Structure 1
Amino acid sequence: MHFAFDARTEELRAKLLAFMDEYVYPAEAVAEEQRAALASPWDTPPVVEELKAEARRQGLWNLFLPDGHYGAGLTNLQYAPLAEITGRSPQLAPTATNCAAPDTGNMEVLHQFGDEQQKKQWLEPLLAGEIRSAFAMTEPDVASSDATNITTLIERDGDDYVITGRKWYISGAMNPDCKIFIVMGKTDPDGADIRRQQSMVLVPRDTPGVTVKRAMRVFGYEDHSHGGHAEVIFDRARVPVSNLIGEEGGGFAIAQARLGPGRIHHCMRLIGMAERAIELMCRRAVSRQAFGKALAQQGVVHNWIADARVTVEQLRLLVLKTAWLMDTVGNRGAHTEIQAIKIATPRAVVDIIDRAIQLHGAGGVSQDFPLAELYAAARTLMIADGPDEVHQRSLARRELKKYL
């Protein structure tokens, strides 16, 4: 792989960096002020819609989708440095550019597996940023690190499916603009192949029997950037059979196809979060004094900053290699690297943000700096999209297979 970004990537990087400086960073405080005045904390602050309009005007829109008709037509390698930049302001920038989870993954599912009617009804308004969506897979009553444990039932009844189950940490579900759920459940719970028992169906939010019960907090935070994380009850919710995505029994395979790009997108943004933490750490170090000298003159601070820089450079190269492999040999060919970055990146970024918090003292855990929220987001990604231990298990098996 070549280490230099191509001309289009450099052009988009320059535009996106300017967009961040001119619009996104100044909007962070504005969004918090506006949210406090909203009727519901889940309503979208007006400044977010202003950011979306400006991003779309500048062509900084749907950067994640490689299809040139529906998205920006970028490769994973081209998108990686752009996702890193948006990761510096995870509460605003991904949403502003219509590159926020879980919508990105849901759009990818609809793009790859949806039929023409499903694309017209749901994909097109998602691509236009007119609605939001949610992906309902995780359940509170089973170990969801093993997706075959899912107990939600999707039962055929004539020309309908009837969905019954309980989900939680369903990202995006608290947002009133969330109009559609992609629900994963079992259409063949007694099937011989445990990876062919699951299917995915589209369930509109206003379907009778669908109840968004409560918001789930993450380290005490209500994650407004994703539209919250909700507990959702499906009590014999009925949808037409035409709402099936792909084929019956294809849900597990679709989930794996969805999670591959999602994992690398998270890791790209995590590097941006680490860069933001390093910047804050350096600014703090040169502006504060303790025990007669600047924090920047303390040896331990030197170690923290140096280690953070080395770590970020290592992670970035691994993420870029993974993106390059996904482009050249496909997700299956990049499986080892996808798991490697999923293990390494959140763990390392949590440590970097933790050092930045330590350097900020009480300010680090306060609402006056973004570090506490960055920490919560990074730490959660050691669990989301498969906990570290699941990826370690799979990666170790692949390595040992070479010697067995």
Structure 2
Amino acid sequence: MSQKKNITNPFYQGDLIFVFIVFFAISIVAVYAAQQFNQYNEPFAMKQALYYLLGALIIILFLYFDLEQLEKLSFYFYLLGIIMLIVLKLSPAYIGSYRFAPVINGAKSWFMLPGFTLQPSEFMKIGLIMYLASFMSKHSPTGKRTFKEDWIFLLKIFGIIIVPAGLILEQDTGTAGIVMFVILVMIFLSGVNWKLITLIVGSGLTVAILVLYVIIRFPDVAGAVGIEEYQIKRVMTWVNPSEQTADDKMQVERAQLAIGSGKVFGNGVSDLQVYVPEAQTDFIFAVIGESFGFTGCAFVVIMFFFFIYRLVVLIDRIHPFSKFASFFCAGFTALIVIHTFQNIGMNIGIMPVTGVPLLLVSYGGSSIVATLIGFAIVYNASCQLTKYQRYMFK
């Protein structure tokens, strides 16, 4: 049966529709509350609603493709992401007097287009997960494996990720770290020998610890080898905030103050007292904390847990029918997990500030649209699973 016929008799996924609606409501209310600070004097909530509307249209559009077609398109999503990153790297900060690809907060990550900004790395994450899922579905080690076969498999993955990961690392260290986490999760689930997994994870942790040690003990050396000053300050503020200047630790302190001031039930949406810079993006969780207190924060966390649980169940159940969908859902789940942990962590001070948004909640056209592209594939996979299971028991 064609996917087009499926649209006329759709297999609705009520729980995923519920997740979409709830996060839409959370995001609009939180962004509306944040924009009262007038840091940029823009109608962020209205724009966020439009981004969500565009995302909803994308979800509907993707239902006209079956999973095999999406798998075939994965390479083109991947290639488009690389092209966008290369164009961003080569683009001038200004075209005449117009800001086109400026360096913002120490990172050259955005195209400044009329009426909106475009962040290629957000779309590259989804394109990379898609293409890796396609590759792994065809080449994952199966049956009795040798170290040689696993090494060849890993080298091929390295060849896929090296260019986009390198371009993202040059633009934004936080996003690059997220990409590497997602890739490691996908590799772990691909069936590679656990000894190789241990070697890869151990090597990665060793490098990360070494970099942190150099930044903490020898900041001048860290600066000399290419680590930006703002990155050094963020790490030092996280490790030893008491010895940092008031400006360096201001964001985290104000985020913690905002969350704490909300107490149990919050102060309401229109009566925020604690100003937090970038409240509509990086520190949206602090706005939720002040507006709705512990109750609101707990509700958001519970919704993320519910969404992640739903994805984990889908990973397992769709695998016999579509390995591509299973691997994609695994990568997308890892993306949601690491973004949620990192963003909430930096809001409450247990993680360094990295500029990572809270997916589906923080303001941002690229973040919302790219995440909802991933959501569209997940929703499509869940519909397909329902169809497969329905036909199996007829």
TM-score (normalised: structure 2): 0.26
Task: Name the one with the larger helix percent.
Answer: 2
Task: Name the one with the larger strand percent.
Answer: 1
TM-score (normalised: structure 1): 0.25
Higher RCO (CA < 8 A, seq sep 6+): 2
